[in-house]
Amino acid sequence: MNRILSTIIRIWRLKDLRRSILYVVAMLFIFRLAAHIPIPGVNTENLQAFFRSNAILGLLNVFSGGTMESFSVVALGVAPYITSSIIFQLLAMVVPQLEALQKEGEAGRQKINQWTRYAAVPLAALQGFGLITLLRQSPIQIIGILTPQAYIITILTLTAGTMFLMWIGELITERKVGNGISLLIFAGIIAGLPTAAQQVLVSFDPTQALNFALFAALSLTTVVGVVLITQAQRNIPVSYARRVRGMKMYGGVDTHLPLKVNMAGVIPIIFAISIVLFPPMIAQFFLQASNLTVVRLAQWVVNFFQNNLVYGILYFILVFIFTYFYTAVVFHPGQIAENLQKQGGFVPGIRPGKPTAAYLQYVTSRVILVGALFLAVIAVLPLAMQRLTGLQALAIGGTSVLIVVSVVIETLTQIEAQLTMHEYET
């Protein structure tokens, strides 16, 4: 407790860091204010009931920051921007020009980020159109009759809301006290906690006490597991050879190269949910089709993905695969081996160059195995608990806890880095 208080005091005494944190809090407040500005003509009570009756839409609502359930002006959240980022990360692996831009450093990344923002605009418009179409096909009336002009204005409003959140996220990221997009999702999840707690208290059944205890134990296990895996790393010993330049000697230092067990963070969870949600979301649009075969096929797709067992297996496999995929995107053993060789560094017992790259790849693939299995198990554990207890809230709760804990750790790490930098400067 004393350490926490002393850290808070240190943060408050640093003027720049204090201003940055207060600025981030103000931006999150603006986000939550916008989340309570509804689009006219929507029955919010029927909309909330519709989302509560569909676990898949409930997960989609989590990643929108809770804004989709109220159909506010920022109902789409940052989902289109995340989708655009995923597309460009995939393209960078197959398009040589994008791969070359990534290697150009900060200038290349800024150019890719600019293209990502541009692509998010049509994606937001398309997702807005899809959401409105889906709600209009709901068996309960959510959206009234829209004229073509009102339809276009609604889509433009949803698109502008996404761009607004994307801008806020970038402003937050520039303050270097957390990732802006992650903090927006975090704020949406936290804002929904009081309502969720109220619903639990109102509908509390003493016969379900054991199930709620299991849910609490699951949440605690998730928190502890995320902290341990996020902080865990494998240290690869690295030595730097001694070099003589003129009358001075350089090098001769023994250090280590840290390889995190979970390099991908919560990105594989986001990727996997985006993929799993796509087929049933598309199928929802064809449930009211005039062709009976199309309707039956769409209904089969919806029922197939709403099966918890099938959904859980696909979710597990996708999270596992995307953990390796995203690690391959952000971690390049060949470049690290080349940089070590240029700086006179080497792994003891391993020849520099390609053998070092092969060794790093070998170690990474085994270290990431632990992280991939952990993320996959944590992702499907709430679904397994839901199957055992019958509590619908568990399917969403586990993913929410995973995101919240990971974002908190990432933000605290950046704040600690800011503290260290300020103390070093003084």
Q: Could you tell me which residue, 357 or 7, shows the higher pLDDT? A: 357
Q: Which tokens go with 391? A: 């509590």
Stretch 122-129: mean pLDDT, rounded?
86
What pLDDT is recorded for position 23? 92
Q: Radius of gyration over alpha carbons of the chain, in Å?
A: 24
Q: Could you tell me which residue, 198 or 180, shows the higher pLDDT? A: 180
- In our burial notation (b when 16+ CB lie closer than 10 A, e otherwise), range 357-395 reads bebbbebbeebbeebbebbbebbbbbbbbbeebebebbb
Q: Could you tell me which residue, 287 or 368, shows the higher pLDDT? A: 368
Alpha helices in 143-235 (DSSP H): 148-174, 180-191, 193-202, 209-231
What pLDDT is recorded for position 3? 62
Stretch 9-26: mean pLDDT, rounded?
84
Q: How far apart are CA 363 and CA 365, in angstroms?
A: 6
Within 8 A by CB and 6+ apart from 281, the residues are 56, 60, 130, 134
Percentage of the chain exceeding pLDDT 70: 82
Q: Is residue 1 over pLDDT 60?
A: no
What pLDDT is recorded for position 168? 93
Q: Do residues 277 and 60 touch, judged by C-beta distance below 8 A?
A: yes
Of 2-16, 353-367, 384-398, minimum mean pLDDT range: 384-398
Of 158-172, 301-315, 394-408, minimum mean pLDDT range: 394-408
If residue 249 lies in a helix (H) or strand (E), which one and from where to where? strand 248-250
Q: Label residue 403 by pLDDT band (50, 70, 90).
A: confident
If residue 396 lies in a helix (H) or strand (E), which one and from where to where? helix 393-425
Of 60-64, 77-81, 158-162, 359-363, minimum mean pLDDT range: 60-64
Q: Do residues 131 and 68 touch, judged by C-beta distance below 8 A?
A: yes
Q: Is residue 58 over pLDDT 70?
A: no
Stretch 108-112: mean pLDDT, rounded?
82
- Can you list the domains of the chain with their CATH numbers? 1-204 (1.10.3370.10), 205-426 (1.10.3370.10)
Q: Is residue 251 over pLDDT 60?
A: no
How many distinct helices (H) and strands (E) make up the chain?
A: 17, 5
What pLDDT is recorded for position 231? 79
**What's CA 230's distance to the chain center, in Å?**
14
